[in-house]
């Protein structure tokens, strides 16, 4: 038995350690450890409920808009505003969150994951005129390889020209992400933490000038997703097609659904949304979601055992550093007692099996390009493809939502803070199902609980000893070279973990 430990896992957000036990080249056991406690749920206690909107966004600097939306929906429901949010505000929240998420998917693919497959050193042989590639070449000649090295070696398969072109796209992606940030800031005031989304609606108003500026930037994002991002993912997936068979994991997928369409049902579990709410398992059947079946367990997490097995509305965060047998600061969310993966793959497949015609056509087209069945999406490349397809679906809808805005109509509803109330906010962050729960007493936050996408995916074992989604995806993997375990990091990065979020 050989132990292979990766600590920290780089090119992800935050502090993640992966430990594996390998026998005859196969991963027999895996543990995923979140290493940094933060305590934002505890900071929120006793404060004005409106503070949750501002402070909960600080859970993450990568995906704050999604926390902003989750917190706003949570406070809307606590304040009795679920059916009173003006249509302009619904659309502007969609635009702020959606544009940020498209930018975030581009960030993940190019700046975090692609370097597992793209060999930047191929630029050393570049003979063309692209000034940016030539400046990369100069760095390579000087031996200044950061941030591209050190890295695991031994499995770079793309032809030299494809590596060079993909490196040019790596650089171009920075520019496009800036354009995405600029668009988000038009309605959200600033980046990363939005001041535009508030309970009751949004703070800004749409004008023809702002809509035009936003539209022009969205067109650039859309063009990049369609002509660069999606083709690059398909090209890499076809060369690394064995990664359509690696890292399947638990094959249970869960989505809260996101991006409210028309309608204002105060019950967040019944809203009409662009990405649908539900679960899907290996048999590719759709099941509606019962929010009451969600629990967080902590037997293997550094929290007091008395808080295990609670629904998030009754959840507790009682740190117990050094607790015997525990190995992570991440709690273990479970649905109906079972392990579920969340993320772009989940929201795409849930929407697919729910029968959305646009999503069905898009997914079937992409899989035909790869000559792969739907079940191949349960894999490393499946997750990358799902992320790119989710980016495309969103980018296509951003334009639509912009044109539905009505200048001159309201974007905000007045409210009073209730003495006592409970609230729930459910959305999909870039990395998956995101839920916030609040309990208000004496007009103050009595309890605030967040169950975040990477809390699901990077969770340790549950009270029954069943490993979490990333752990399950690693177990059974063949590792060719224990000194260069690129299979392991490729699997972990396909989940796009955000550890700051997962522990919060």
Binding site for Ni ion (CB under 5 A): 60, 62-63, 498, 501
| Two tokens, residue 151 | 């890295």
The CA distance from 172 to 170, in Å, is 6
* Smallest gap from residue 401 Cβ to Ni ion (A): 23
Judged by beta carbon distances under 5 to 8 A according to partner kind, the member of Fe ion, Ni ion, none in contact with residue 123 is none
Judged by beta carbon distances under 5 to 8 A according to partner kind, the member of Fe ion, Ni ion, none in contact with residue 62 is Ni ion
The residue among 434 and 440 lying less far from Fe ion, judged by its C-beta, is: 434
What does each C-alpha distance from 302 to 307, 321, 342, 346 come to in angstroms?
Answer: 11, 5, 23, 28
What does each C-alpha distance from 368 to 234, 353, 362, 365 come to in angstroms?
Answer: 11, 17, 10, 5
Q: What is the DSSP annotation of 229-250?
A: IHHHHHHHHHHTGGGGSS--TT
The residue among 96 and 450 lying less far from Fe ion, judged by its C-beta, is: 450
* Smallest gap from residue 60 Cβ to Fe ion (A): 13
* Smallest gap from residue 455 Cβ to Ni ion (A): 11
The residue among 165 and 496 lying less far from Ni ion, judged by its C-beta, is: 496
Judged by beta carbon distances under 5 to 8 A according to partner kind, the member of Fe ion, Ni ion, none in contact with residue 473 is none
61: buried, middle or exposed (CB in 10 Å: 19+, 13-18, 0-12)? middle
What 3-state class would DSSP assign to 22? strand
Q: Tell me how crowded residue 412 is: count the other CB atoms within 10 A of its CB.
A: 17
What does each C-alpha distance from 459 to 63, 242, 452, 456 come to in angstroms?
Answer: 19, 26, 11, 5
* Smallest gap from residue 501 Cβ to Ni ion (A): 3
Judged by beta carbon distances under 5 to 8 A according to partner kind, the member of Ni ion, Fe ion, none in contact with residue 60 is Ni ion
Residues 180-210 as b/e (b if ≥16 CB within 10 A, e otherwise) read bbbbbbbbbbebbbbbbbbbbbbbbbbeeeb
The residue among 63 and 89 lying less far from Ni ion, judged by its C-beta, is: 63
The residue among 115 and 501 lying less far from Ni ion, judged by its C-beta, is: 501
The residue among 63 and 91 lying less far from Ni ion, judged by its C-beta, is: 63
The residue among 61 and 189 lying less far from Ni ion, judged by its C-beta, is: 61
Judged by beta carbon distances under 5 to 8 A according to partner kind, the member of Ni ion, Fe ion, none in contact with residue 450 is Fe ion
Type and span of the H or E element at 211: helix 208-224
Which residues sit opposite 27 in a β-bridge? 22
The CA distance from 321 to 303, in Å, is 7
131: buried, middle or exposed (CB in 10 Å: 19+, 13-18, 0-12)? exposed
Judged by beta carbon distances under 5 to 8 A according to partner kind, the member of Ni ion, Fe ion, none in contact with residue 71 is none
- The answer to whether 495 and 383 have CB atoms below 8 angstroms apart is yes
The residue among 222 and 317 lying less far from Fe ion, judged by its C-beta, is: 317
The residue among 59 and 122 lying less far from Ni ion, judged by its C-beta, is: 59
* Smallest gap from residue 430 Cβ to Ni ion (A): 8
Judged by beta carbon distances under 5 to 8 A according to partner kind, the member of Ni ion, Fe ion, none in contact with residue 498 is Ni ion
Binding site for Fe ion (CB under 5 A): 450
Q: Tell me how crowded residue 24 is: count the other CB atoms within 10 A of its CB.
A: 8
The CA distance from 426 to 439, in Å, is 15
Q: Tell me how crowded residue 40 is: count the other CB atoms within 10 A of its CB.
A: 20
The CA distance from 256 to 87, in Å, is 21
Judged by beta carbon distances under 5 to 8 A according to partner kind, the member of Fe ion, Ni ion, none in contact with residue 501 is Ni ion
The residue among 166 and 503 lying less far from Ni ion, judged by its C-beta, is: 503
* Smallest gap from residue 255 Cβ to Fe ion (A): 19
* Smallest gap from residue 451 Cβ to Fe ion (A): 6
* Smallest gap from residue 454 Cβ to Ni ion (A): 7
* Smallest gap from residue 41 Cβ to Fe ion (A): 6
Judged by beta carbon distances under 5 to 8 A according to partner kind, the member of Ni ion, Fe ion, none in contact with residue 75 is none
- The answer to whether 60 and 453 have CB atoms below 8 angstroms apart is no
In this chain, which residue has its C-beta nearest to Fe ion?
450
Which single residue is written with the structure tokens 């069943």? 466
The residue among 151 and 193 lying less far from Ni ion, judged by its C-beta, is: 193
* Smallest gap from residue 316 Cβ to Fe ion (A): 10
247 Rama sector, left if φ>0, alpha if ψ -120 to 50, beta otherwise: left
* Smallest gap from residue 458 Cβ to Fe ion (A): 13
The residue among 199 and 453 lying less far from Ni ion, judged by its C-beta, is: 453
Q: What is the DSSP annotation of 256-272?
A: --EEE-S---SSGGG--
* Smallest gap from residue 61 Cβ to Ni ion (A): 8
- The answer to whether 383 and 345 have CB atoms below 8 angstroms apart is yes
């Amino acid at each position: 038995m050989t132990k292979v430990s990766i600590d920290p896992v780089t090119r992800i957000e935050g502090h993640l350690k992966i430990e594996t036990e390998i026998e005859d080249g196969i991963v027999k056991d895996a543990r995923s450890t979140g290493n940094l406690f933060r305590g934002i749920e505890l900071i929120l206690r006793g404060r004005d409920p409106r503070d949750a909107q501002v402070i909960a966004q600080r859970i993450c600097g990568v995906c704050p808009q999604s926390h902003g939306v989750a917190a706003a929906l949570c406070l809307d429901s606590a304040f009795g505003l679920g059916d009173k949010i003006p249509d302009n505000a619904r659309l502007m929240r969609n635009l702020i969150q959606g544009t940020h998420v498209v930018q975030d998917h581009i960030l993940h693919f190019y700046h975090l994951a692609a370097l597992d497959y793209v060999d930047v050193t191929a630029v050393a042989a570049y003979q063309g005129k692209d000034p940016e590639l030539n400046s990369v070449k100069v760095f390579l000649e000087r031996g200044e390889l950061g941030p591209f090295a050190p890295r695991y070696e031994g499995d770079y398969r793309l032809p030299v020209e494809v590596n060079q072109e993909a490196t040019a796209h790596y650089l171009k992606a920075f520019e496009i992400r800036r354009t995405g940030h600029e668009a988000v800031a038009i309605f959200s005031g600033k980046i990363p933490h939005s001041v535009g989304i508030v309970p009751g609606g949004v703070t800004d108003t749409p004008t023809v000038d702002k809509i035009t500026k936003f539209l022009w930037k969205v067109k650039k994002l859309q063009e990049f997703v369609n002509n660069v991002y999606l083709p690059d993912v398909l090209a890499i997936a076809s060369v690394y097609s064995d990664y359509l068979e690696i890292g399947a994991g638990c094959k249970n997928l869960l989505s809260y659904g996101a991006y409210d369409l028309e309608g204002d049902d105060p019950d967040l579990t019944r809203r009409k949304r662009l990405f649908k709410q539900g679960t899907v398992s290996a048999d590719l059947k759709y099941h509606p979601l019962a929010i009451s079946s969600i629990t967080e367990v902590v037997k293997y997490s550094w929290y007091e055992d008395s808080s295990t097995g609670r629904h998030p509305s009754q959840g507790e965060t009682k740190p117990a550093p050094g607790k015997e047998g525990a190995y992570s600061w991440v709690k273990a969310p479970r649905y109906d007692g079972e392990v579920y993966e969340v993320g772009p793959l989940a929201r795409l497949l849930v929407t697919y099996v729910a029968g959305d015609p646009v999503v069905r056509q898009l997914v079937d087209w992409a899989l035909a390009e790869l000559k792969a069945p739907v079940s191949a999406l349960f894999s490393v490349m499946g997750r990358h493809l799902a992320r790119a397809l989710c980016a495309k679906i969103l980018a296509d809808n951003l334009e639509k939502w912009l044109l539905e805005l009505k200048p001159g109509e309201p974007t905000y509803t007045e409210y009073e803070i209730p003495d006592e109330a409970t609230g729930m906010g459910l959305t999909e962050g870039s990395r998956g199902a995101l839920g916030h729960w609040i309990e208000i007493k004496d007009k103050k936050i009595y309890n605030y609980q967040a169950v975040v996408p990477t809390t699901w995916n990077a969770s340790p074992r549950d009270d029954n000893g069943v490993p979490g989604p990333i752990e399950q995806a690693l177990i059974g993997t063949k590792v060719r070279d224990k000194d260069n375990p690129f299979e392991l990091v490729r699997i972990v990065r396909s989940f796009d973990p955000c550890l700051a979020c997962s522990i919060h």
